[in-house]
Amino acid sequence: MIAPREAFEEGGQTDPQFEPGDLVKHRRYGYRGVVVHRDLCCQASEDWYFKNQTQPDRDQPWYYVLVDESDQTTYAAQSSLKPDDVQTCVMHPWVNLYFDGFHAGKYHRNDKPWEPEES
């Protein structure tokens, strides 16, 4: 798991394309999900980053995503994501924990902070 840090720490050279509540699809792996939190640049440790199959640029927004039809979360680079065309609800056990509702293809984020556990 990745330790959380401030969502808007200095850094990041690219404006965020997605907001919490946006539906996204992974460009390479094809899974869809909902953005629950974002960092303006990668906050993962070097060890975590280099254990991944790919290493997208760290100096861009990265997003915590609740993966549809699973209990998994991912931490994905903006360049790895695109808007989801399906625009239907995501089936994930934490959706109701972090969102108040779904309307017009977007979830409405509540005030509960995103605090993933460290491993």
Number of domains making up the chain? 1
Residue 80: alpha-carbon gap to chain centroid: 11
Q: Is residue 116 part of a domain?
A: no
47-66 pLDDT tens trace = 998 988 888 999 999 999 99
pLDDT tier for residue 9 given thresholds of 50, 70 and 90 = very low
Q: Is residue 99 part of a domain?
A: yes
68-103 pLDDT tens trace = 999 999 999 999 999 999 989 999 999 999 999 999
CB 110 within 8 A of CB 100: yes
10-35 pLDDT tens trace = 444 679 999 999 999 999 999 999 99
pLDDT tier for residue 7 given thresholds of 50, 70 and 90 = very low
Structural domain range at position 82: 23-109
Q: Is residue 69 part of a domain?
A: yes
Supply the pLDDT for residue 14: 78
Could you tell me the CATH number of the domain that includes residue 48? Answer: 2.30.30
**Tokens in use for 110?**
């509540």
**Tokens in use for 24?**
């996204």
